[in-house]
Structure 1
Amino acid sequence: MSTLNDTLQKLSDVAANPAAQLNAIVAQGKKAIGCFPVYSPAELVIAAGMTPFAVWGAEMEISSAKKYFPSFYCGIAQTCLEMGLNGKLDKLSGAMIPVLCDTLKCLGQNWKVGVKNVPFIPVIHPQNRKLPAGVEFMRKQYVTIAEKLSAISGHKVDAASLQKAIDICNAQRAALREFSDVAALYPHLISPAQRNAVIKSGGFMDKGEHTATVRQIIELCRQQPMKDWDGHKVVTTGILADSQALLQVLADNRFAVVADEVAQESRQYRTDVPADADPFNALARQISDMEGCSVLYDPDKKRGPMIVDMVKKHGAQGVVFLMTKFCDPEEFDFPMVKKALDAAGIPMVSVEVDQQMRSFEQARTALQTFADVISA
């Protein structure tokens, strides 16, 4: 048990201190590229001989970014820009910023103007991503991005290096999917905060090292006996679920996260890059294969039914919708997700989250009440 706890703590320390990880990468003589929300092609960074480094904002006060964004902007975009403006991301050799929503479009343009030390690399996804023309457009975008990354690293991205990088990232995705399933079986061993840390830390570490550590955690869990959980099993959904204060509220109220539909978590690893003779085309096809994401065009709105299936598969008692403040795509999806859950008779609670939140008492009250509701 001590070995399991030690391994979980190792990843928790990584997730809690990304700056130390970035410093360590640079100290080793490596270059790191910032991978901003929601879908930045880490495979291209690895193929170019550099390290992908996740940037999803931070819990911090906003000062300089207020000059570029109005106060009612998504906190993730604001804190990402704040870190760029105040020099905390100066050790990055580039910043890949997708333009999947209106806020991210402005983040990229403001980054280009305000952050002089870290080059801006736009990642432009097609709206009609499932059409052959959409896949071809995405492929051309990836070729362009690869050329920019190669210019930074001095290492040309070719088919062989990209395929190797795809294999590395797919292996990590497979390990995280298995970990999520195993964590659902061992809620007495894996707390909500630890589950999040295992997933989140993968954005700051060497992919191979992270995969090996996740595999170790899986095996250590399986060596322990399974126990009946006397708390509540829930599925989480939203953009972010990494607030330590909020995760502690979940733990305090005996909530176990048995699955998630969260952008920073399972949306990053639930869809593999498919096999294809052309690895650039394979990477483009991955985007077309993704389903149920609020920032990707989805006329069928499959997210609600997907969450219903997660609840049934894992025997969850309800859903916790973590609503990122001022996030238009999530607010647009909310009524459709609620409608699907209501039709299936699945209770849901919505909790507003923001990286500038300092008090979680309102969330605590909502989750305490929800625990009573699903226990009745």
Structure 2
Amino acid sequence: MEAVKEILDEMKDAVSNPRQAVKDYKEKTGKGVIGCFPVYCPEEIVHAAGMLPIGIWGGQTQVSQAHTVFPPFCCSIMQSIMEFALKGVYSDLDAVIIPAPCDTLKSIGQDWLYAIPDIKAILTVYPQMRKIAAGVEYLKSEFQDIKSAVEAIGGEPISDEALNKSIEVYNAHRRVMREFCSVARRYPATVTPAVRHLVIKSGYFMEKGQHTLLVSELINELHKLPAEEFKGQKVILTGIMAEPDGLLELFSENGITVVGDDLAHESRQFRTDVPAGSDPLLRLAQQWSVIEGCSLVYDPEKKRGDMLIDMVKESDADGVVLCMMKFCDPEEFDYPILTVELEKVRIPLLYLEIDQQMQSLEQARTRIQGFAEMLASYKDLKRLA
């Protein structure tokens, strides 16, 4: 257990002080650091340049200055990001890459150019007609623009060989993260919801190869432990993100463990590998065409519900918790569909509003406690049936 604690402490250090991680990387390598906005950012291009791509997903802060740029009904992640930017939190970054899969991300790209002129913004548009050849070629051209911008910042060209190697580094990380999520289910006392989140989140602030090794070590150490018995309730999380940590601790307090997720901040980032091939930019563009089950990705077939149902069955979960990011239109559009599909197969669903600026968790506490009691009663009824 001591080895597990040491690994988790290293991850906690990275998550607690990402600004120090940026400074340390610059001092150690002499290379730049580029911030990567949600949701699907081609980090491999930054990695291939020898730079550190670092995740920008907002955080807990009191918003004041961002209200001069955004209306109050913008997604709280973007509000937090802009607040941090205006306060100089991102001043050590050499640039940011801003994809635009939703209306708010489209807006923040232009707002950034106006409000944060000292940090270069690399804007890109992901085509929603992503499965046709023209859509893939268009996205490849967008990635070429990102590559050129990163090369200009780094002062060196990025070879196809280097980019293909970085893609393999990231695919290896994706495989290890999927393995971790599977293994973690057997250790609910050690890998609590908050710990599970920590392991995944720390990957946003570390070089991916280094994080892969660390997670691999964690998996090996977990395998040395006996499987842990769990008598509580098991859930799947779905949505954009499940924060703050205090929210996740409420699950543990109420005897709930997380056995899987469909969060944009977590498993959606690593459940789809970049396809094989020789043209690295084409490979990255093709990945966008095969991503499924995400509210930010055009899907006329609405496969997300079926994917959630499969997750519940595969993990033997008792229910689903929808972590609804406040003012997130794409997630709100999916909610009625998911409700109907989960009700059809009698999978309990909890709607939980997420706001990075939330001051109190008492409403969430009440809802999670009630859901835990409902799941327990539902299991008792199934045993008696």
Which bin holds the TM-score, normalised by the shorter protein? over 0.9
Give 1:244's aligned amino acid: D
Task: Answer yes or no: is the 8 Å Cα contact 1:40–1:123 preserved in 2.
Answer: no
For 2:12 and 2:261, the matched residues in 1 are separated by 19
What per-residue deviation string (whole Å, max 9, x for no partner) do you get for residues 90-133 of structure 1?
Answer: 11111101111110011110001110221010121001011111
Mapping 1:289-304, distance limit 5 Å: 289-304=290-305
| Aligned equivalent of 2:323 | 322
| Aligned equivalent of 2:256 | 255
Give 2:302's aligned amino acid: K
For 1:242 and 1:364, the matched residues in 2 are separated by 13
For 1:313 and 1:228, the matched residues in 2 are separated by 18
1:156 aligns with 2:170: no
Unpaired stretches in structure 1, ≥5 consecutive residues: none
For 2:195 and 2:16, the matched residues in 1 are separated by 11
| Aligned equivalent of 2:382 | none
For 1:15 and 1:218, the matched residues in 2 are separated by 19
1:23 aligns with 2:56: no
1:144 aligns with 2:145: yes
Q: 1:270 aligns to what SS in structure 2?
A: coil
For 1:17 and 1:303, the matched residues in 2 are separated by 34
| Aligned equivalent of 1:350 | 351
1:199 aligns with 2:203: no
| Aligned equivalent of 1:131 | 132
Compute the TM-score of the two structures, normalised by the length of structure 2.
0.96
Mapping 1:1-376, distance limit 5 Å: 1-28=1-28, 29-376=30-377
Give 2:23's aligned amino acid: N
Q: Once the 2 structures are TM-superposed, how far is the Cα of residue 20 of structure 1 from its aligned partner? A: 2.1
Compute the TM-score of the two structures, normalised by the length of structure 1.
0.98
For 1:39 and 1:122, the matched residues in 2 are separated by 13
Q: Once the 2 structures are TM-superposed, how far is the Cα of residue 13 of structure 1 from its aligned partner? A: 2.5
For 2:223 and 2:269, the matched residues in 1 are separated by 24
Q: Once the 2 structures are TM-superposed, how far is the Cα of residue 26 of structure 1 from its aligned partner? A: 2.5
Q: Once the 2 structures are TM-superposed, how far is the Cα of residue 30 of structure 1 from its aligned partner? A: 2.4
For 2:10 and 2:255, the matched residues in 1 are separated by 24
Give 1:186's aligned amino acid: Y
For 1:319 and 1:155, the matched residues in 2 are separated by 47
Task: Answer yes or no: is the 8 Å Cα contact 1:193–1:242 preserved in 2.
Answer: no
Q: Percent identity between the aligned chains?
A: 44
Q: Once the 2 structures are TM-superposed, how far is the Cα of residue 227 of structure 1 from its aligned partner? A: 2.6
For 1:81 and 1:256, the matched residues in 2 are separated by 33
Give 1:359's aligned amino acid: S
What per-residue deviation string (whole Å, max 9, x for no partner) do you get for residues 28-69 of structure 1?
Answer: 222100000001100000112211000001110112111111
Alignment size in residue pairs = 376
Q: Once the 2 structures are TM-superposed, how far is the Cα of residue 351 of structure 1 from its aligned partner? A: 0.6
Give 2:248's aligned amino acid: L
Q: 1:296 aligns to what SS in structure 2?
A: coil
Q: Once the 2 structures are TM-superposed, how far is the Cα of residue 27 of structure 1 from its aligned partner? A: 2.7
For 2:168 and 2:156, the matched residues in 1 are separated by 19
| Aligned equivalent of 2:380 | none
Task: Answer yes or no: is the 8 Å Cα contact 1:33–1:96 preserved in 2.
Answer: yes
Give 1:199's aligned amino acid: I
Deviates more, 1:253-262 or 1:4-13: 4-13
Q: 2:12 aligns to what SS in structure 1?
A: helix
For 1:373 and 1:20, the matched residues in 2 are separated by 44
Deviates more, 1:156-165 or 1:17-26: 17-26
Q: 1:7 aligns to what SS in structure 2?
A: helix
Q: Once the 2 structures are TM-superposed, how far is the Cα of residue 16 of structure 1 from its aligned partner? A: 2.5
For 2:180 and 2:31, the matched residues in 1 are separated by 29
For 2:20 and 2:252, the matched residues in 1 are separated by 27
Task: Answer yes or no: is the 8 Å Cα contact 2:243–2:356 preserved in 1.
Answer: no
Unpaired stretches in structure 2, ≥5 consecutive residues: 378-385
For 1:23 and 1:337, the matched residues in 2 are separated by 43
For 2:302 and 2:12, the matched residues in 1 are separated by 34
What per-residue deviation string (whole Å, max 9, x for no partner) do you get for residues 143-185 of structure 1?
Answer: 1110000000012122101101101111111110000000112
Q: 1:92 aligns to what SS in structure 2?
A: coil
For 1:358 and 1:30, the matched residues in 2 are separated by 38
RMSD: 0.9
Deviates more, 1:212-221 or 1:223-232: 223-232
Give 1:307's aligned amino acid: L
For 2:26 and 2:342, the matched residues in 1 are separated by 46
